[in-house]
Amino acid sequence: MSKEIIKVPDIGGAEGVEVVEICVAVGDTVEKEESLVVLESDKASMEVPSPMAGKVIAITISDGDSLSEGDVILELETAAEAAPEPVAEEPVEETVEEPVAAPEPEPVTAAAPAKVETPKAVEAPTPVIAEPAKVTPTEKPSSGGHIYAGPAVRRLAREMGVELDQVKGSGPKNRISKDDLKAYVKTALTEKPASGSAGIPAIPEVDFSKFGEITVEPLTKIHKMTAHNMQRNWLNIPHVTQFDDADITNLEDFRQSLKAEAEKRGVKITPLPFLLKACAAALRDNPKFNASLSADGESMVYKHFINIGVAVDTPAGLVVPVIKDVDRKSIWDLAAETVELATRAKDRQLKPVEMQGGCFTISSLGGIGGQGFTPIVNAPEVAILGVSKLATKPVWDGNEFMPRKMLPLSLSYDHRAINGGDAGRFFTYLTAVLGDIRRLAL
Ligand code: CAO
Protein backbone atom coordinates (compact mmCIF):
# COMPACT_ATOMS: atom_id res chain seq x y z
CA MET A 1 0.00 0.00 0.00
CA SER A 2 1.26 3.48 -0.72
CA LYS A 3 -0.11 6.98 -0.71
CA GLU A 4 -0.04 9.10 -3.84
CA ILE A 5 -0.72 12.81 -3.98
CA ILE A 6 -2.63 13.75 -7.11
CA LYS A 7 -1.98 17.22 -8.47
CA VAL A 8 -3.44 19.42 -11.19
CA PRO A 9 -1.65 18.45 -14.40
CA ASP A 10 -0.47 20.67 -17.22
CA ILE A 11 -3.49 22.75 -18.16
CA GLY A 12 -1.85 24.79 -20.85
CA GLY A 13 -0.74 27.58 -18.55
CA ALA A 14 -4.29 28.42 -17.44
CA GLU A 15 -4.35 29.90 -13.93
CA GLY A 16 -7.12 30.19 -11.40
CA VAL A 17 -9.27 27.54 -13.02
CA GLU A 18 -12.45 26.97 -11.04
CA VAL A 19 -13.45 23.63 -9.51
CA VAL A 20 -17.02 23.12 -10.76
CA GLU A 21 -17.46 19.53 -9.72
CA ILE A 22 -15.71 17.03 -7.50
CA CYS A 23 -16.65 13.66 -8.93
CA VAL A 24 -15.43 11.47 -6.06
CA ALA A 25 -15.76 11.31 -2.29
CA VAL A 26 -13.38 10.14 0.45
CA GLY A 27 -13.62 6.36 0.62
CA ASP A 28 -14.45 5.94 -3.08
CA THR A 29 -12.48 3.45 -5.10
CA VAL A 30 -11.51 4.90 -8.45
CA GLU A 31 -10.25 3.30 -11.58
CA LYS A 32 -7.46 4.65 -13.68
CA GLU A 33 -8.83 7.42 -15.98
CA GLU A 34 -11.98 7.85 -13.96
CA SER A 35 -12.88 11.52 -13.61
CA LEU A 36 -11.75 13.02 -10.33
CA VAL A 37 -12.70 16.62 -10.81
CA VAL A 38 -14.11 18.99 -13.43
CA LEU A 39 -12.36 22.34 -13.80
CA GLU A 40 -13.66 25.27 -15.77
CA SER A 41 -11.84 28.32 -17.12
CA ASP A 42 -13.65 31.14 -18.92
CA LYS A 43 -13.11 29.24 -22.13
CA ALA A 44 -13.28 25.54 -21.49
CA SER A 45 -14.26 22.74 -19.14
CA MET A 46 -11.65 20.13 -18.28
CA GLU A 47 -12.18 16.78 -16.71
CA VAL A 48 -9.16 15.58 -14.75
CA PRO A 49 -8.88 11.80 -14.90
CA SER A 50 -7.15 9.68 -12.26
CA PRO A 51 -3.63 8.58 -13.26
CA MET A 52 -4.08 5.27 -11.44
CA ALA A 53 -6.51 3.06 -9.64
CA GLY A 54 -6.84 3.49 -5.87
CA LYS A 55 -8.91 4.56 -2.94
CA VAL A 56 -9.55 8.23 -2.18
CA ILE A 57 -8.31 8.92 1.35
CA ALA A 58 -8.32 12.72 1.39
CA ILE A 59 -9.64 15.54 -0.76
CA THR A 60 -7.90 18.86 -0.39
CA ILE A 61 -10.09 21.00 -2.65
CA SER A 62 -13.65 22.30 -2.49
CA ASP A 63 -16.22 23.36 -5.08
CA GLY A 64 -15.45 26.85 -6.32
CA ASP A 65 -11.70 26.73 -5.47
CA SER A 66 -9.35 28.28 -8.00
CA LEU A 67 -6.58 25.91 -9.04
CA SER A 68 -3.47 26.10 -11.16
CA GLU A 69 -1.00 23.51 -12.39
CA GLY A 70 0.68 21.63 -9.53
CA ASP A 71 -2.04 22.31 -6.91
CA VAL A 72 -2.92 19.24 -4.87
CA ILE A 73 -6.32 17.74 -5.64
CA LEU A 74 -6.49 14.64 -3.46
CA GLU A 75 -4.63 11.68 -1.94
CA LEU A 76 -5.02 8.14 -3.20
CA GLU A 77 -4.11 4.92 -1.48
CA THR A 78 -2.82 2.52 -4.08
CA ALA A 79 -2.03 -1.17 -4.07
CA ALA A 80 1.59 -0.85 -5.09
CA GLU A 81 4.23 1.83 -5.22
CA ALA A 82 4.67 1.37 -8.90
CA ALA A 83 4.73 4.43 -11.02
CA PRO A 84 1.42 5.08 -12.70
CA GLU A 85 0.93 3.62 -16.09
CA PRO A 86 0.36 5.88 -19.02
CA VAL A 87 -3.23 6.94 -19.22
CA ALA A 88 -4.12 4.92 -22.27
CA GLU A 89 -2.40 2.94 -24.91
CA GLU A 90 -4.41 4.38 -27.70
CA PRO A 91 -4.97 8.08 -28.04
CA VAL A 92 -8.07 9.51 -26.45
CA GLU A 93 -10.30 10.56 -29.25
CA GLU A 94 -10.84 14.20 -29.40
CA THR A 95 -14.57 14.41 -29.84
CA VAL A 96 -15.34 18.06 -29.90
CA GLU A 97 -18.97 17.69 -30.86
CA GLU A 98 -19.69 21.29 -31.56
CA PRO A 99 -17.90 24.52 -30.79
CA VAL A 100 -19.47 25.27 -27.42
CA ALA A 101 -16.38 27.22 -26.58
CA ALA A 102 -12.93 27.30 -28.07
CA PRO A 103 -11.07 24.69 -26.06
CA GLU A 104 -8.15 26.03 -24.19
CA PRO A 105 -5.63 24.61 -23.70
CA GLU A 106 -5.40 22.48 -26.79
CA PRO A 107 -6.99 19.08 -26.31
CA VAL A 108 -4.14 16.70 -25.63
CA THR A 109 -4.26 13.08 -26.55
CA ALA A 110 -3.34 10.41 -24.08
CA ALA A 111 -0.42 9.51 -26.35
CA ALA A 112 1.40 12.18 -24.40
CA PRO A 113 2.21 10.17 -21.29
CA ALA A 114 1.07 11.37 -17.93
CA LYS A 115 3.75 13.19 -16.02
CA VAL A 116 5.05 11.39 -12.97
CA GLU A 117 6.98 13.60 -10.57
CA THR A 118 7.89 11.20 -7.80
CA PRO A 119 6.32 8.04 -6.56
CA LYS A 120 4.61 10.12 -3.87
CA ALA A 121 3.33 13.07 -5.84
CA VAL A 122 1.55 12.35 -9.06
CA GLU A 123 0.21 14.80 -11.51
CA ALA A 124 -3.03 13.69 -13.03
CA PRO A 125 -2.95 13.05 -16.75
CA THR A 126 -3.57 15.96 -18.99
CA PRO A 127 -7.21 16.83 -18.60
CA VAL A 128 -9.71 15.93 -21.21
CA ILE A 129 -11.25 18.97 -22.76
CA ALA A 130 -14.00 17.47 -24.78
CA GLU A 131 -16.04 14.43 -24.06
CA PRO A 132 -13.63 11.51 -24.49
CA ALA A 133 -15.38 8.81 -26.41
CA LYS A 134 -13.17 6.08 -25.05
CA VAL A 135 -12.53 7.20 -21.53
CA THR A 136 -15.32 5.83 -19.44
CA PRO A 137 -15.07 4.40 -15.98
CA THR A 138 -14.88 0.65 -16.11
CA GLU A 139 -16.51 0.17 -12.76
CA LYS A 140 -19.36 1.89 -11.07
CA PRO A 141 -17.96 4.12 -8.38
CA SER A 142 -18.73 3.18 -4.82
CA SER A 143 -20.56 6.46 -4.33
CA GLY A 144 -23.91 5.49 -5.82
CA GLY A 145 -25.71 7.81 -8.18
CA HIS A 146 -22.60 9.07 -9.99
CA ILE A 147 -23.48 10.86 -13.19
CA TYR A 148 -21.42 9.95 -16.23
CA ALA A 149 -21.04 12.88 -18.57
CA GLY A 150 -18.14 14.53 -20.28
CA PRO A 151 -17.05 18.10 -19.62
CA ALA A 152 -18.63 19.47 -22.80
CA VAL A 153 -21.96 17.99 -21.77
CA ARG A 154 -21.59 19.25 -18.21
CA ARG A 155 -20.73 22.71 -19.42
CA LEU A 156 -23.69 22.77 -21.81
CA ALA A 157 -25.98 21.57 -19.01
CA ARG A 158 -24.76 24.37 -16.75
CA GLU A 159 -25.29 26.93 -19.52
CA MET A 160 -28.83 25.70 -20.05
CA GLY A 161 -29.58 25.41 -16.35
CA VAL A 162 -30.26 21.67 -16.57
CA GLU A 163 -29.66 19.42 -13.56
CA LEU A 164 -27.86 16.42 -15.02
CA ASP A 165 -29.45 14.06 -12.52
CA GLN A 166 -32.75 14.73 -14.30
CA VAL A 167 -31.41 13.60 -17.68
CA LYS A 168 -31.49 9.98 -18.79
CA GLY A 169 -28.20 8.97 -20.38
CA SER A 170 -28.27 6.62 -23.35
CA GLY A 171 -24.58 5.64 -23.33
CA PRO A 172 -22.73 2.88 -21.49
CA LYS A 173 -23.27 3.17 -17.73
CA ASN A 174 -26.06 5.67 -18.57
CA ARG A 175 -23.47 8.16 -19.77
CA ILE A 176 -25.19 11.38 -20.85
CA SER A 177 -24.43 12.70 -24.32
CA LYS A 178 -25.24 16.07 -25.79
CA ASP A 179 -28.06 14.44 -27.73
CA ASP A 180 -29.55 13.16 -24.47
CA LEU A 181 -29.34 16.65 -23.04
CA LYS A 182 -30.93 18.23 -26.11
CA ALA A 183 -33.71 15.65 -26.11
CA TYR A 184 -34.39 16.42 -22.43
CA VAL A 185 -34.57 20.17 -23.09
CA LYS A 186 -36.75 19.68 -26.17
CA THR A 187 -39.22 17.59 -24.22
CA ALA A 188 -39.26 20.06 -21.34
CA LEU A 189 -40.03 22.90 -23.76
CA THR A 190 -42.71 21.14 -25.74
CA GLU A 191 -44.44 19.43 -22.84
CA LYS A 192 -47.72 21.17 -22.05
CA PRO A 193 -47.56 22.11 -18.38
CA ALA A 194 -50.54 20.50 -16.70
CA SER A 195 -51.56 23.64 -14.84
CA GLY A 196 -50.71 26.07 -17.64
CA SER A 197 -47.57 27.47 -16.03
CA ALA A 198 -44.17 25.85 -15.72
CA GLY A 199 -43.11 25.12 -12.20
CA ILE A 200 -46.60 25.37 -10.71
CA PRO A 201 -47.94 22.11 -9.37
CA ALA A 202 -50.86 20.80 -11.41
CA ILE A 203 -54.31 20.56 -9.88
CA PRO A 204 -55.15 16.88 -9.72
CA GLU A 205 -57.76 15.61 -12.15
CA VAL A 206 -60.73 14.11 -10.34
CA ASP A 207 -63.39 11.87 -11.80
CA PHE A 208 -66.42 13.56 -10.21
CA SER A 209 -68.80 11.02 -11.70
CA LYS A 210 -67.55 8.65 -9.00
CA PHE A 211 -69.42 10.76 -6.46
CA GLY A 212 -72.66 11.51 -8.32
CA GLU A 213 -74.30 12.56 -11.56
CA ILE A 214 -72.50 15.25 -13.57
CA THR A 215 -72.81 17.10 -16.89
CA VAL A 216 -69.86 18.45 -18.85
CA GLU A 217 -70.24 21.62 -20.94
CA PRO A 218 -67.44 22.98 -23.13
CA LEU A 219 -66.25 26.50 -22.26
CA THR A 220 -67.27 29.33 -24.58
CA LYS A 221 -64.54 31.12 -26.49
CA ILE A 222 -65.04 34.20 -24.31
CA HIS A 223 -64.78 32.13 -21.15
CA LYS A 224 -61.56 30.52 -22.35
CA MET A 225 -60.05 33.87 -23.29
CA THR A 226 -61.06 35.39 -19.97
CA ALA A 227 -59.60 32.44 -18.08
CA HIS A 228 -56.35 32.76 -20.00
CA ASN A 229 -56.11 36.52 -19.45
CA MET A 230 -56.99 36.27 -15.77
CA GLN A 231 -54.33 33.66 -15.14
CA ARG A 232 -51.77 35.63 -17.13
CA ASN A 233 -52.54 38.84 -15.24
CA TRP A 234 -52.69 37.14 -11.85
CA LEU A 235 -49.32 35.45 -12.36
CA ASN A 236 -47.55 38.43 -13.92
CA ILE A 237 -48.74 41.27 -11.73
CA PRO A 238 -47.87 41.77 -8.07
CA HIS A 239 -51.35 42.81 -6.97
CA VAL A 240 -52.28 44.97 -4.01
CA THR A 241 -55.90 45.81 -3.20
CA GLN A 242 -56.92 48.76 -1.05
CA PHE A 243 -60.42 49.31 0.30
CA ASP A 244 -62.46 52.38 1.11
CA ASP A 245 -66.10 53.45 1.42
CA ALA A 246 -67.36 56.51 -0.40
CA ASP A 247 -70.19 58.41 1.25
CA ILE A 248 -72.52 58.87 -1.72
CA THR A 249 -75.59 60.02 0.26
CA ASN A 250 -75.73 63.35 -1.57
CA LEU A 251 -74.92 61.77 -4.94
CA GLU A 252 -77.77 59.29 -4.44
CA ASP A 253 -80.18 62.12 -3.57
CA PHE A 254 -79.13 63.91 -6.74
CA ARG A 255 -79.39 60.72 -8.84
CA GLN A 256 -82.92 60.05 -7.53
CA SER A 257 -83.86 63.63 -8.40
CA LEU A 258 -82.83 62.98 -12.00
CA LYS A 259 -85.04 59.91 -12.46
CA ALA A 260 -87.95 61.76 -14.10
CA GLU A 261 -85.64 63.59 -16.49
CA ALA A 262 -83.82 60.33 -17.25
CA GLU A 263 -87.11 58.68 -18.15
CA LYS A 264 -87.96 61.53 -20.51
CA ARG A 265 -84.55 61.11 -22.16
CA GLY A 266 -85.05 57.35 -22.36
CA VAL A 267 -81.92 56.73 -20.27
CA LYS A 268 -81.44 54.59 -17.19
CA ILE A 269 -79.28 56.39 -14.67
CA THR A 270 -77.43 54.18 -12.19
CA PRO A 271 -74.41 55.13 -10.02
CA LEU A 272 -72.11 53.86 -12.79
CA PRO A 273 -71.91 56.97 -15.03
CA PHE A 274 -71.07 59.06 -11.94
CA LEU A 275 -68.36 56.57 -11.06
CA LEU A 276 -66.97 56.80 -14.58
CA LYS A 277 -66.85 60.58 -14.42
CA ALA A 278 -65.32 60.58 -10.92
CA CYS A 279 -62.68 58.03 -11.98
CA ALA A 280 -61.80 60.12 -15.03
CA ALA A 281 -61.16 63.07 -12.74
CA ALA A 282 -59.09 60.90 -10.35
CA LEU A 283 -57.08 59.51 -13.30
CA ARG A 284 -56.40 63.03 -14.53
CA ASP A 285 -55.22 63.99 -11.03
CA ASN A 286 -53.15 60.81 -10.59
CA PRO A 287 -51.41 60.16 -13.94
CA LYS A 288 -49.64 57.01 -12.67
CA PHE A 289 -53.04 55.28 -12.78
CA ASN A 290 -53.55 56.34 -16.40
CA ALA A 291 -50.35 54.63 -17.51
CA SER A 292 -48.85 51.28 -18.50
CA LEU A 293 -45.47 49.72 -17.91
CA SER A 294 -43.52 49.28 -21.13
CA ALA A 295 -43.11 45.63 -22.15
CA ASP A 296 -39.42 45.63 -21.18
CA GLY A 297 -40.27 47.06 -17.76
CA GLU A 298 -37.88 49.96 -18.35
CA SER A 299 -40.37 52.82 -18.62
CA MET A 300 -43.89 54.05 -17.89
CA VAL A 301 -46.16 55.03 -20.75
CA TYR A 302 -48.43 57.89 -19.68
CA LYS A 303 -51.63 58.31 -21.68
CA HIS A 304 -53.09 61.72 -22.41
CA PHE A 305 -56.54 60.31 -23.09
CA ILE A 306 -58.93 58.72 -20.63
CA ASN A 307 -60.64 55.56 -21.83
CA ILE A 308 -62.30 53.38 -19.18
CA GLY A 309 -63.37 49.76 -19.59
CA VAL A 310 -66.55 48.51 -17.91
CA ALA A 311 -66.74 44.82 -17.04
CA VAL A 312 -70.03 43.39 -18.30
CA ASP A 313 -71.36 40.08 -17.07
CA THR A 314 -72.86 38.23 -20.08
CA PRO A 315 -74.22 34.69 -20.40
CA ALA A 316 -71.20 33.83 -22.59
CA GLY A 317 -68.70 35.24 -20.10
CA LEU A 318 -67.03 38.44 -19.02
CA VAL A 319 -66.64 41.18 -21.65
CA VAL A 320 -65.01 44.58 -21.16
CA PRO A 321 -66.17 47.25 -23.63
CA VAL A 322 -64.16 50.46 -23.43
CA ILE A 323 -65.79 53.90 -23.16
CA LYS A 324 -63.56 56.37 -24.95
CA ASP A 325 -62.75 59.90 -23.74
CA VAL A 326 -64.80 59.60 -20.56
CA ASP A 327 -63.50 62.96 -19.32
CA ARG A 328 -65.07 64.74 -22.32
CA LYS A 329 -68.53 63.18 -22.05
CA SER A 330 -71.53 64.20 -19.95
CA ILE A 331 -73.16 61.98 -17.32
CA TRP A 332 -76.15 61.57 -19.70
CA ASP A 333 -73.84 60.52 -22.56
CA LEU A 334 -72.03 58.07 -20.31
CA ALA A 335 -75.30 56.59 -19.01
CA ALA A 336 -76.58 56.06 -22.56
CA GLU A 337 -73.29 54.68 -23.85
CA THR A 338 -72.90 52.23 -20.94
CA VAL A 339 -76.36 50.79 -21.53
CA GLU A 340 -75.77 50.60 -25.28
CA LEU A 341 -72.39 48.88 -24.96
CA ALA A 342 -73.60 46.51 -22.21
CA THR A 343 -76.60 45.52 -24.34
CA ARG A 344 -74.46 44.85 -27.38
CA ALA A 345 -71.96 42.95 -25.18
CA LYS A 346 -74.74 40.67 -23.96
CA ASP A 347 -75.88 40.17 -27.58
CA ARG A 348 -72.28 39.42 -28.62
CA GLN A 349 -72.37 42.33 -31.05
CA LEU A 350 -69.26 44.18 -29.90
CA LYS A 351 -66.48 44.78 -32.38
CA PRO A 352 -62.90 44.06 -31.23
CA VAL A 353 -61.99 47.75 -31.50
CA GLU A 354 -64.72 48.55 -28.94
CA MET A 355 -62.85 46.44 -26.37
CA GLN A 356 -59.45 48.00 -27.00
CA GLY A 357 -57.56 51.07 -25.83
CA GLY A 358 -58.60 51.00 -22.17
CA CYS A 359 -56.57 52.89 -19.55
CA PHE A 360 -58.42 51.71 -16.43
CA THR A 361 -61.35 49.40 -15.68
CA ILE A 362 -64.41 49.55 -13.45
CA SER A 363 -65.96 46.28 -12.36
CA SER A 364 -69.30 46.96 -10.71
CA LEU A 365 -71.09 44.22 -8.83
CA GLY A 366 -73.22 46.80 -7.03
CA GLY A 367 -76.39 45.75 -8.82
CA ILE A 368 -75.73 42.12 -7.90
CA GLY A 369 -74.48 42.22 -4.32
CA GLY A 370 -71.53 41.69 -2.03
CA GLN A 371 -69.58 43.84 0.40
CA GLY A 372 -66.23 43.78 -1.33
CA PHE A 373 -63.96 41.85 -3.66
CA THR A 374 -60.43 42.00 -5.04
CA PRO A 375 -60.58 42.54 -8.81
CA ILE A 376 -57.71 41.40 -11.05
CA VAL A 377 -55.87 44.13 -12.95
CA ASN A 378 -56.65 44.09 -16.67
CA ALA A 379 -53.06 44.29 -18.01
CA PRO A 380 -51.43 46.28 -19.52
CA GLU A 381 -53.57 48.64 -17.48
CA VAL A 382 -52.18 49.15 -13.98
CA ALA A 383 -55.32 49.48 -11.88
CA ILE A 384 -58.96 48.46 -11.61
CA LEU A 385 -61.80 49.66 -9.37
CA GLY A 386 -64.19 47.14 -7.85
CA VAL A 387 -67.58 48.52 -6.82
CA SER A 388 -69.81 46.64 -4.39
CA LYS A 389 -73.34 47.11 -3.14
CA LEU A 390 -74.30 50.39 -1.55
CA ALA A 391 -75.37 50.06 2.10
CA THR A 392 -76.78 52.52 4.58
CA LYS A 393 -74.46 52.56 7.59
CA PRO A 394 -74.23 54.57 10.81
CA VAL A 395 -71.43 57.12 10.42
CA TRP A 396 -70.20 59.26 13.32
CA ASP A 397 -70.32 62.96 12.35
CA GLY A 398 -68.55 64.20 15.48
CA ASN A 399 -71.74 64.52 17.53
CA GLU A 400 -73.91 61.57 16.60
CA PHE A 401 -74.25 58.59 14.32
CA MET A 402 -75.93 59.51 11.06
CA PRO A 403 -77.36 57.09 8.47
CA ARG A 404 -75.19 57.49 5.39
CA LYS A 405 -75.21 55.67 2.06
CA MET A 406 -71.78 54.11 1.85
CA LEU A 407 -70.42 52.65 -1.37
CA PRO A 408 -67.72 49.96 -0.81
CA LEU A 409 -64.82 50.35 -3.23
CA SER A 410 -61.78 48.18 -3.78
CA LEU A 411 -58.84 49.36 -5.81
CA SER A 412 -56.42 46.71 -7.12
CA TYR A 413 -53.19 47.89 -8.66
CA ASP A 414 -49.91 46.69 -10.13
CA HIS A 415 -47.36 47.29 -7.39
CA ARG A 416 -44.61 47.53 -9.99
CA ALA A 417 -46.19 50.72 -11.29
CA ILE A 418 -48.07 52.11 -8.29
CA ASN A 419 -47.20 52.39 -4.60
CA GLY A 420 -49.52 52.37 -1.62
CA GLY A 421 -49.13 56.12 -1.22
CA ASP A 422 -50.22 56.70 -4.84
CA ALA A 423 -53.25 54.49 -4.26
CA GLY A 424 -54.09 56.31 -1.02
CA ARG A 425 -54.02 59.64 -2.89
CA PHE A 426 -56.12 58.24 -5.75
CA PHE A 427 -58.70 56.91 -3.29
CA THR A 428 -58.80 60.15 -1.27
CA TYR A 429 -59.44 62.11 -4.45
CA LEU A 430 -62.03 59.66 -5.75
CA THR A 431 -64.03 59.42 -2.53
CA ALA A 432 -63.95 63.21 -2.15
CA VAL A 433 -65.44 63.62 -5.64
CA LEU A 434 -68.06 60.93 -5.05
CA GLY A 435 -68.87 62.52 -1.69
CA ASP A 436 -69.49 65.85 -3.33
CA ILE A 437 -69.81 65.70 -7.11
CA ARG A 438 -69.75 69.50 -7.34
CA ARG A 439 -65.99 68.90 -7.23
CA LEU A 440 -66.24 67.64 -10.82
CA ALA A 441 -66.83 71.23 -11.82
CA LEU A 442 -63.61 72.43 -10.17
N1 CAO B 1 -75.10 49.58 -5.08
C2 CAO B 1 -76.43 49.41 -5.03
N3 CAO B 1 -77.18 49.36 -6.15
C4 CAO B 1 -76.58 49.50 -7.32
C5 CAO B 1 -75.19 49.68 -7.44
C6 CAO B 1 -74.48 49.74 -6.24
N7 CAO B 1 -73.15 49.91 -6.25
N8 CAO B 1 -74.89 49.77 -8.73
C9 CAO B 1 -76.01 49.64 -9.42
N10 CAO B 1 -77.04 49.47 -8.58
C11 CAO B 1 -78.42 49.29 -8.91
C12 CAO B 1 -78.81 50.12 -10.10
O13 CAO B 1 -79.14 51.44 -9.72
C14 CAO B 1 -79.96 49.33 -10.62
O15 CAO B 1 -81.10 49.61 -9.79
P16 CAO B 1 -82.52 50.07 -10.44
O17 CAO B 1 -82.80 49.00 -11.44
O18 CAO B 1 -83.39 50.13 -9.26
O19 CAO B 1 -82.21 51.37 -11.04
C20 CAO B 1 -79.59 47.90 -10.35
O21 CAO B 1 -78.57 47.96 -9.34
C22 CAO B 1 -79.02 47.17 -11.55
O23 CAO B 1 -78.05 47.95 -12.16
P24 CAO B 1 -77.32 47.40 -13.46
O25 CAO B 1 -76.40 46.35 -13.07
O26 CAO B 1 -78.36 47.06 -14.47
O27 CAO B 1 -76.58 48.67 -14.03
P28 CAO B 1 -75.17 49.25 -13.68
O29 CAO B 1 -75.07 50.51 -14.43
O30 CAO B 1 -74.91 49.33 -12.24
O31 CAO B 1 -74.13 48.18 -14.28
C32 CAO B 1 -73.15 46.71 -15.86
C33 CAO B 1 -74.06 47.90 -15.65
C34 CAO B 1 -73.07 46.38 -17.31
C35 CAO B 1 -71.79 47.04 -15.30
C36 CAO B 1 -73.71 45.53 -15.08
O37 CAO B 1 -74.95 45.15 -15.62
C38 CAO B 1 -72.80 44.32 -15.01
O39 CAO B 1 -72.70 43.52 -15.97
N40 CAO B 1 -72.13 44.12 -13.88
C41 CAO B 1 -71.30 42.93 -13.64
C42 CAO B 1 -69.85 43.25 -13.85
C43 CAO B 1 -69.02 42.06 -13.45
O44 CAO B 1 -69.36 40.90 -13.68
N45 CAO B 1 -67.92 42.31 -12.81
C46 CAO B 1 -67.11 41.28 -12.28
C47 CAO B 1 -65.88 41.17 -13.08
S48 CAO B 1 -64.76 40.03 -12.38
O49 CAO B 1 -65.52 38.64 -12.45
Q: What atom in ligand 1 is closest to the CA of residue 342?
A: 34
Give the residue-averaged pLDDT of 270-279.
98
Does 142 contact ligand 1 (Cβ within 6 A)? no
- 3-state SS, one letter per residue, for 138-171: CCCCCCCCCCCECHHHHHHHHHHCCCHHHCCCCC
* Confidence category of residue 191, pLDDT binned at 50, 70, 90: low
**Does the annotation count 228 as an active-site position?**
no
Give me ligand 1 centre to Cα 240, in Å.
Answer: 24
Q: Assess whether the C-beta atom of 389 lies below 6 angstroms from ligand 1.
A: yes
**Looking at residue 61, what is its pLDDT?**
93
| CA 373 – ligand 1 centroid, Å | 15
- Closest residue to atom 10 of ligand 1, CA basis: 367
Question: Where are the extended beta strands (E) located within 237-277?
Answer: 239-247
User: Per residue in 10-58, pLDDT tens?
Assistant: 887 788 888 887 888 899 888 888 888 888 776 676 788 899 999 999 9
Residue 301, CA distances (Å) to 121, 319, 376 in order? 67, 25, 20
pLDDT, average across residues 180-189: 86
Q: Which amino acid is at 331?
A: I
Contact 26, 20 (CB under 8 A): no
Q: Is 417 left (phi over 0), alpha (psi -120 to 50) or beta?
A: alpha
- Report the half-sphere exposure of 157 (CA within 13 A, side-chain side): 26
Binned at pLDDT 50, 70 and 90, residue 109 comes out as very low
Specify the residue with its C-alpha closest to ligand 1, atom 19. Answer: 270
- Top mutation candidate among 258, 272, 409 for ligand 1, by most atoms within 8 Å of CB: 272
Query: Is the link from the previous residue into 380 a cis peptide, with omega within 30 of 0?
Result: yes
| 365 CB near ligand 1 (under 6 Å) | yes
Residue 121: Cβ-neighbour burial (10 angstroms; 0-12, 13-18, 19+): middle
Assess contact for 245 and 386: CB atoms under 8 A.
Answer: no
- What confidence tier does 159 reach under pLDDT thresholds 50, 70, 90? confident
Query: What count of Cα atoms within 13 Å lies in the side-chain half-sphere of residue 429?
Result: 21
- Count CB neighbours of 415 within 10 A: 15
Mean pLDDT value across residues 238-265: 97
How much is the mean pLDDT over the chain? 84
What's the gap in Å between 356 CA and the centre of ligand 1?
22
Is there an atom of ligand 1 within 6 Å of 387 CB?
yes
d(CA 110, CA 39): 18
pLDDT of residue 38: 82
CA 190 to chain centre: 17
Q: Is the pLDDT of residue 95 over 60?
A: no
Percent of the chain having pLDDT more than 70? Answer: 82
d(CA 363, CA 383): 11
- Which pLDDT value is given to residue 130? 36
- How far apart CA 389 and CA 253 sit, in angstroms, is 17
**pTM exceeding the 0.75 threshold for the entire prediction:** no
Give, using CA atoms, the residue closest to atom 21 of ligand 1: 367
In one letter, which amino acid is 382?
A: V
Confidence bin at 125 (pLDDT 50/70/90): low
pLDDT in tens, 295-314: 999 999 999 999 999 999 99
CA 293, 297, 301 angle in degrees (round to 5)?
Answer: 30
364 CA to middle of ligand 1, Å?
6
Residue 104: pLDDT band (50, 70, 90) is very low
Given a cut of 90, is residue 255 above it in pLDDT? yes
Looking at 223, 239, 304, 415, which residue is catalytic?
A: 415
Helix and strand counts by DSSP (H, E) for the chain: 8, 20
pLDDT in tens, 160-181: 888 888 898 887 778 888 888 9
Signed CA dihedral, 388, 391, 397, 401: sign only: negative
Mean pLDDT of 227-238: 96
Cβ of residue 406 lying under 6 Å from some atom of ligand 1: no
Judge whether residue 97 has pLDDT over 50. Answer: no
Which atom in ligand 1 lies closest to the alpha carbon of residue 272? 29
Closest residue by CA, ligand 1 atom 20: 367
For residues 259 and 76, give the distance between their C-alpha atoms in angstroms, rounded to a whole number.
Answer: 96
Distance 264 CA to ligand 1 centre (A): 21
Cα 363 to ligand 1 centre (Å) = 9
Task: Answer yes or no: are the C-beta atoms of 184 and 162 closer than 8 Å.
Answer: yes
Over the stretch 397-435, which tens digit does the pLDDT of each residue have?
999 999 999 999 999 999 999 999 999 999 999 999 999
Distances (CA, A) of 67 to 19, 41, 70, 106, 168: 7, 10, 8, 18, 31
Find residue 302's DSSP bridge partners. 291
What SS3 state is found at 345?
helix
Q: Of 65-69, 246-250, 393-397, give the lowest mean pLDDT range.
A: 65-69
Q: How far apart are CA 333 and CA 341, in angstroms?
A: 12
Q: Is 310 in the pocket of ligand 1 (CB under 6 A)?
A: yes
**Backbone φ/ψ region at 180: left (φ over 0), alpha (ψ -120 to 50), beta:** alpha
Q: Is the CB of 27 under 6 A from ligand 1?
A: no
| Distance (Å, whole) CA 331 – CA 280 | 12
